[in-house]
């Protein structure tokens, strides 16, 4: 596979995963913003921007932290390269450059999402509502991911998967770094408490609420959620799960010649170590270290194996 085509497919995986994750974060923030609390203890829209690494960009264009403005910025703003619409449109452009390598079902799902995204703007968001637009984005990304089963079993699925797993690990790292300290501080997570609501926000944003209940029941709290999202090998949203899959995908599509595999192995060991230990204040420095390693992996993979994204595409946000 040409490095240019591989680069397009690698970023296609990242764009689709980022679009789905951003949509989930917006849904969670919107739901949390409707809950009355004393002294504005929740800052859902600010947290959403931090998780998406969009806070600085938002402040350049907006003076106030307004729910309508933040949701539009994260969902449909074409000036925000990481908005859901921007990710779907740019992802489809990358897919178009690799059209001859994609199966019919996969391409049709992407093309459908692109046509709908191209017709989605702030007016449409106002008419349909935040939840409806976010749900459309999540469903579109899930449909595309499901159609990947029809791709030829050559290096292409592994290249797309590498982008997906890297992006998902990056997202969970950000989610935990922003949300977990607050959830731990507000423990215990008894139903109806602030701690419980924060825990539910983490689980809903990571799409792991049902998995968490199956693994831990309803009596567990933020510590158990942290352990699951860090290093549970059975949870497809855990950092460890995605790092292991990233390692396998990179090894397969590069023939084991990827220099970044050593860094991926280092990251895997770090996450396993912290995931097997009680959650302490030292976790935050470990998460920061893991994020730096993941960023180095992304840069090395793109430099050594995939062509540089075309001007205007979304660069890795420090990851």
| 317 domain residue, yes or no | no
Per-residue tokens: 113: 């999402």
pLDDT at 176: 96
- The reply to whether 162 falls in a domain is yes
136: pLDDT confidence band, cut at 50, 70 and 90?
very high
User: What is the total count of domains within the chain?
Assistant: 1
Question: pLDDT, tens digit, for every residue of 2-34?
Answer: 788 899 999 999 999 999 999 999 999 999 999
312 falls within a domain? no
- Asked if the model's pLDDT at residue 319 lies above 60, the reply is no
**Rg of the chain on CA atoms, in Å:** 19
For residue 3, the model assigns a pLDDT of 85
Asked if the structure places residue 248 within a domain, the reply is: yes
Residue 310 lies in a domain: no
End-to-end CA distance of the chain: 24
What pLDDT band is residue 280 in, cutting at 50, 70 and 90? Answer: confident
Average pLDDT over residues 63-90: 96
Q: Decide if 319 is inside a domain.
A: no
Residue 115 lies in a domain: yes
Reported as a single tens digit per residue, the pLDDT across 141-167 is: 999 999 999 999 889 999 999 999 999
Residue 312 scores a pLDDT above 50: no
Tens digit of each residue's pLDDT (9 = 90 or more) over 167-209: 999 999 999 999 998 888 876 767 778 888 899 999 999 999 9
The pTM of this model reads: 0.93
Domain annotation covers residue 110:
yes
Q: What is the mean pLDDT of residues 30-46?
A: 82
219-254 residue pLDDT tens:
778 899 999 999 999 999 999 999 999 999 999 988
- pLDDT at position 39 is 58
> Residue 75: is its pLDDT beyond 70?
yes
Which of the residue ranges 239-243, 257-261, 275-279, 311-315 has the most confident prediction, judged by mean pLDDT? 239-243
Domain limits for position 216: 3-304
CB-count exposure of residue 2 (10 Å: 0-12, 13-18, 19+): exposed
The proportion of the chain whose per-residue pLDDT surpasses 70, expressed as a percent, equals 94
φ and ψ at residue 124, rounded to 5 degrees: -65, -40
């Amino acid at each position: 596979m040409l490095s240019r085509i591989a680069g397009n497919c690698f970023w296609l995986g990242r764009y689709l995963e980022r679009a789905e994750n951003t949509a989930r974060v917006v849904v969670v923030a919107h739901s949390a913003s409707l809950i009355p609390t004393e002294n504005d203890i929740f800052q859902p829209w600010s947290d959403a921007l931090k998780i998406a690494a969009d806070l600085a960009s938002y402040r350049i264009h907006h003076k106030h932290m307004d729910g309508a403005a933040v949701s539009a910025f994260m969902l449909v703003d074409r000036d925000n390269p990481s908005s859901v619409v921007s990710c779907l449109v740019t992802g489809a452009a990358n897919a178009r450059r690799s059209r001859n390598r994609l199966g019919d079902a996969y391409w049709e799902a992407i093309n459908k999402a692109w046509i709908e995204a191209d017709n989605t703007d702030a007016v449409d968001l106002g008419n349909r509502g935040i939840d409806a637009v976010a749900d459309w984005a999540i469903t579109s990304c899930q449909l595309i991911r499901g159609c990947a089963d029809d791709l030829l079993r050559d290096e292409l699925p592994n290249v797309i998967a590498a982008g997906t797993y890297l992006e998902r690990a990056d997202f969970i790292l950000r989610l935990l770094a922003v949300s977990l300290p607050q959830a731990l501080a507000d423990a215990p997570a008894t139903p109806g408490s602030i701690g419980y609501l924060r825990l539910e926000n983490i689980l809903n944003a990571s799409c792991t609420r049902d998995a968490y209940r199956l693994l831990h029941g309803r009596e567990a709290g933020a510590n158990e959620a942290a352990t699951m999202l860090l290093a549970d090998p059975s949870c497809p949203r855990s950092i460890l799960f995605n790092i292991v899959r990233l390692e396998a995908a990179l090894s397969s599509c590069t023939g084991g010649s990827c220099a970044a595999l050593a860094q991926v192995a280092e990251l895997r060991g770090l996450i396993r170590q912290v995931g097997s230990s009680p959650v302490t204040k030292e976790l935050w420095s470990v998460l920061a270290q893991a994020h730096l390693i993941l960023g180095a992996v992304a840069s090395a993979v793109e430099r050594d194996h995939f062509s540089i994204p075309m001007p205007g595409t979304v660069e890795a946000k420090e990851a």
